[in-house]
């Protein structure tokens, strides 16, 4: 399997090159040259596998240029960092099925991808006797998960931009208390979209990118999408083993990374996965896309689910490629149009195609809090506000789906968002053992204005050279 760009202007490349490249050099996003799907026999065999073994089977389809023993070892090491052998346990709470994705070192689902990506980068660089500087933007969880993926690695420095004062206290502490010398936190006076725009601008300066050997670790990296495909397959096959013909997922969505992984999984194990509920908070650009066929940028609203406070969903272009019949020139044209006008409109036929994959609703903060409270009273189970957006969307849309269970993705541990959880349940969520003492640790961060030039200067001064 080779990788191509959504905008069609690069020669096909191998998996390892795609992971190193991050953003395609033509400004597009990297994708497999065709989406694979497996047959019944493979599904039956996969149904029996533990998480790591399933991860190996799924990922080896997409990572053909990585030696098998290496891939196996990287997967084993990445998921050994999780606090349960199941990696992503499926539990029930009240009327809901919850896939707990928060058992990694930073207590959010992004660890599933970033533990793997950190180990993969480090292995690849070692092979080539090279180094890199990772640059990424975070609305909270990506940053800490990325930092934990590479902290202490010899050949990597990491620079993470976060919107100053707009991530939760626990999230900020997780990033800024890491003592390793290869970790640099940049607090930007602006929104997450500002951070993302700065990172994009720096990556588009190809000379700068080459000189400092910049690599991406944010949600546009293909390896992240790939690692996330695994838990959809894992949960769907587990339920298939219990007699479900079709399984749906409810996905709290911001950058469209996680739900795009669901789309790839849906193709891979077709027809086991039914539909994907695209759950948004008040930042509902993607809900308007699914329900009205309009993709239109709005203003970012700050909510109690900050990792979803996003208006420009960086992975959306990947889905656009399929929606436009795998025609890269149409994608390139549309992205140019979107940059200019801030909106895209879709035909009734395109809307219909999208509605076969997705159904969507947007959940406001009041309903989010009520959902946390309701599930807690009903079952004693505590969810975080992002997970609650997905659970609320599941409750609202369940009737409109074909038969089959709905799995709600739990994307963060409730202790990462103590204020919202306390408001809903009357109690602060308990800190797990590995987080105790974090408040008292020294912090390291650099506050900068939302300026590409200033961020560039800081990177220049501190990069591995
Ligand atoms: C990142 C994040 C999301 C959104 O995931 P996307 O891949 O950006 O759609 C949802 N919940 C939590 C807790 C997150 O950290």
Give the whole-angstrom CA distance, residue 82 versus residue 156: 22
- The Å distance, Cα 419 to ligand 1 centre, comes to 19
Expressed in angstroms and rounded, the spacing between residue 309 Cα and the centre of ligand 1 is 9
CA distances from 35 to 69, 216, 364 (A): 24, 23, 35
Peptide bond between residue 145 and the one before it cis (omega within 30 degrees of 0): no
Tell me the CA–centroid distance for residue 128 and ligand 1, in Å: 33
pLDDT of residue 101: 98
The question of whether 110 is a catalytic residue gets the answer: yes
pLDDT number for residue 87: 98
Q: Among 111, 196, 252, which residue has the most ligand 1 atoms within 8 Å of its CB, making it the best to mutate? A: 252
For a pocket test of ligand 1, which of 168, 195, 249, 258 has the largest count of ligand atoms closer than 8 A to its C-beta? 258
Atom of ligand 1 nearest to the CA of 252: 10
Catalytic residue among 2, 72, 110, 266: 110
CA-based nearest residue to 193, from 314, 336, 335, 110: 314
What was the pLDDT predicted at 272?
A: 97
From residue 296, how far is each of 316, 346, 349 by CA, in Å? 12, 11, 19
If one residue of 110, 142, 225, 229 were mutated to test the ligand 1 pocket, choosing by the most ligand atoms within 8 A of its CB, it would be 110
Atom 14 in ligand 1: residue holding the nearest Cα? 307
What the block records as the tokens of 311 is 């208006």
Of 20, 169, 164, nearest to 455 by C-alpha is 164
Report yes or no: 345 and 293 within 8 Å, Cβ to Cβ.
Answer: yes
Which of ligand 1's atoms lies nearest the C-alpha of 102? 13
Alpha carbon distance 159, 182 (integer Å): 9
Angle between helices 257-268 and 222-241 (to 10 degrees): 50
What is the residue-level pLDDT of the chain in tens, covering all 465 positions? 999 999 999 999 999 999 988 889 899 999 999 999 999 999 999 999 999 999 999 999 999 999 999 999 999 999 999 999 999 999 999 999 999 999 999 999 999 999 999 999 999 999 999 999 999 998 777 889 999 999 999 999 999 999 999 888 888 999 999 999 999 999 999 998 899 899 999 989 999 999 999 987 767 899 999 999 999 999 999 999 999 999 999 999 999 999 999 999 999 999 999 999 999 999 999 999 999 999 999 888 989 998 898 888 989 999 999 999 999 999 999 999 999 999 999 999 999 999 999 999 999 999 999 999 999 999 999 999 999 999 999 999 999 999 999 999 999 999 989 999 999 999 999 888 888 888 899 999 999 999 999 999 999 999 999
First to last CA, the chain: 33
258 CA: nearest ligand 1 atom:
7
Strand duo 30-32 + 3-5: pairing: antiparallel
Q: Which of ligand 1's atoms lies nearest the C-alpha of 387?
A: 11
229 CA → ligand 1 middle, Å: 14
Atom of ligand 1 minimally distant from the CA of 310:
8
Residue having the nearest C-alpha atom to atom 1 of ligand 1: 307
**Would the pTM count as exceeding 0.85?**
yes
The binding-site residues of ligand 1, defined as CB within 6 angstroms of any ligand atom, are: 108, 110, 141, 219, 252-259, 307-308, 386, 411-412
Pocket test for ligand 1, best of 109, 163, 175, 192 (most atoms within 8 A of CB): 109
Give pLDDT, residue 21: 86
Nearest-atom index, ligand 1, CA of 384: 13
CA distance 29 to 427: 43
Domains of the chain (ranges; CATH) run: 90-106+223-425 (3.40.50.1100)
Ligand 1 centre to CA of 305 (Å) is 9
Compute, in angstroms, the gap from residue 40 CA to the centroid of ligand 1: 31
Q: Residue 238's pLDDT is what?
A: 97
Residue 437: the pLDDT is 87
254: CA distance to ligand 1 center in Å? 6
Query: Which backbone phi and psi does 13 adopt, to 5 degrees?
Result: -130, 170
> Which two structure tokens, joined as six digits, stand for 428?
């602060």
Note the pLDDT of residue 216: 78
């Amino acid at each position: 399997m080779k990788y191509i760009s959504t905008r069609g202007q690069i020669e096909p490349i191998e998996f390892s090159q795609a992971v190193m490249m991050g953003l395609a050099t033509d400004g597009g996003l990297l994708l497999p040259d065709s989406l694979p799907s497996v047959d019944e026999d493979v599904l039956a065999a996969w149904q029996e596998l533990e998480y790591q073994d399933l991860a190996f089977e799924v990922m080896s389809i997409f990572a053909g240029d990585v030696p098998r023993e290496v891939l196996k070892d990287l997967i084993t090491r990445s998921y050994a960092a999780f606090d349960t052998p199941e990696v992503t346990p499926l539990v029930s709470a009240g009327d809901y099925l919850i896939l707990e994705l928060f058992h990694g070192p930073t207590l959010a689902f992004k660890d599933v991808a970033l533990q793997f990506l950190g180990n993969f980068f480090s292995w690849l660089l070692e092979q080539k006797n090279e180094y890199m500087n990772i640059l990424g933007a975070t609305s909270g969880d990506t940053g800490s998960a990325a930092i934990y993926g590479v902290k202490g690695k010899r050949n990597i420095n990491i620079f993470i931009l976060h919107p100053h004062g707009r991530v939760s206290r626990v999230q900020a502490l997780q990033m800024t208390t890491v003592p390793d010398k290869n970790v640099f936190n940049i607090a930007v006076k602006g929104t997450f979209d500002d951070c993302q725009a700065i990172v994009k601008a720096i990556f588009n300066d190809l000379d700068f990118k080459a000189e400092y050997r910049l690599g991406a670790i944010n949600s546009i990296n293909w390896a992240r999408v790939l690692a996330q495909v695994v838990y959809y397959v894992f949960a769907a096959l587990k339920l298939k083993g219990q007699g479900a013909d079709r399984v749906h997922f409810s996905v709290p969505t911001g950058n469209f990374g996680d739900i795009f992984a669901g789309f790839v999984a849906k193709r891979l194990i077709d027809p086991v996965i039914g539909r994907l509920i695209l759950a948004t908070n008040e930042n509902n650009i993607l809900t308007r896309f699914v329900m009205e066929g309009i993709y239109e940028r709005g203003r970012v609203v700050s909510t109690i689910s900050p990792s979803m406070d996003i208006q420009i969903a960086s992975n959306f272009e990947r889905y656009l490629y399929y929606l436009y019949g795998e025609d890269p020139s149409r994608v390139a044209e549309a992205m140019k149009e979107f940059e200019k006008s801030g909106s895209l409109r879709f035909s009734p036929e395109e809307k219909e195609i999208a509605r076969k994959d997705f159904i969507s609703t947007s959940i406001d903060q009041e309903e989010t809090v009520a959902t946390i409270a309701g599930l807690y009273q009903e079952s004693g189970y505590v969810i975080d506000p992002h997970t609650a957006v997905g659970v609320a969307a599941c409750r609202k849309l369940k009737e409109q789906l074909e038969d089959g269970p709905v799995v709600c993705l739990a994307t963060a541990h409730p202790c990462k968002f103590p204020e919202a959880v306390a408001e809903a349940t009357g109690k602060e969520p308990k800190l797990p053992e590995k987080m105790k003492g974090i408040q008292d640790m020294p912090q390291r961060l650099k506050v900068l204005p939302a300026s590409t030039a200033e961020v560039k200067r800081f990177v220049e001064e501190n990069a591995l050279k």
